[in-house]
Amino acid sequence: MSRIGKKPVTIPSGITATVTGQLVKMKGPKGELSFTAPEEIKIAQDSTGIVVTPIDETKRARSMWGMSRTQVANLIEGVTNGFTHTLEIQGVGYRAAMKGKDVLNLQIGFSHEVLHTVPKGVEVKVAGAKSEIITVTGIDKQLVGQVAADIRSYRPPEPYQGKGIRYKGEYVHRKEGKKK
């Protein structure tokens, strides 16, 4: 029994929710999002909000139950507030800059600049005194997280000096260097 899946998703005022079969659409002040539920899940809208239930008691249906309820809740959170990931660049001479609106230029210790094209639906901003803070925002939680992970993957933090791109607040386990 899924403890998360049992709770109905309440719809706040100012949000329009539409459920047609397996498709759930949310429209709010930040935009419009949709989610298609797996066949093992039944989605219905009632007075309390959107209720997600499994069709049968198979392992896959129980696995998809809580996930589908969370996906619907993320749609509501996305169209009302949006999602944000903050990345920090650490290292001497490491910095970021925006080229136009859709290309992020990273100088992170390679002999060349790294150019990352930002997909539609995501906004990237560079701030900080030395251009070391990157903020990724958008309404789709999966897309925002994927863009942040892609940017971090160009130069993940290394354990000896801590240089690289890390999430804000991420702890990097430091190692001791070689001894003579």
- The pLDDT tens digits of the residues spanning 35-90 come to 999 999 999 999 889 999 999 999 999 999 999 999 999 999 999 999 999 999 99
Query: What distance in Å separates the CA atoms of residue 94 and residue 103, rounded to the nearest whole number?
Result: 17
Residue 60: which of 35, 75, 39, 81 has the closest Cα? 39
Looking at the structure, give the CATH architecture of the domain made up of residues 83-167. Alpha-Beta Complex (3.90)
Q: Where in the chain is the domain with CATH 3.90.930.12?
A: 3-80, 83-167
The residues with which 90 forms a beta bridge, in sequence order, are 164
Q: Where are the alpha helices (DSSP H) in the chain?
A: 3-6, 59-80, 141-153
Angle at 126 between CA 124 and CA 128, to 5 degrees: 150
pTM of the shown model: 0.89
Q: What 3-state class would DSSP assign to 64?
A: helix
Which CATH number is associated with domain 3-80?
3.90.930.12
The residues with which 124 forms a beta bridge, in sequence order, are 136
Indicate the residue type of 124: V
φ, ψ of residue 40 in degrees (nearest 5): -75, -5
158-161 long-range CB contacts below 8 Å, 24 or more apart? 161/91
The residues with which 125 forms a beta bridge, in sequence order, are 135
Say which residue, 101 or 134, is predicted with more confidence: 134
Asked whether residue 177 carries a pLDDT value surpassing 90, the answer given is no
**pLDDT tens for each residue of 116-128:** 999 999 999 999 8
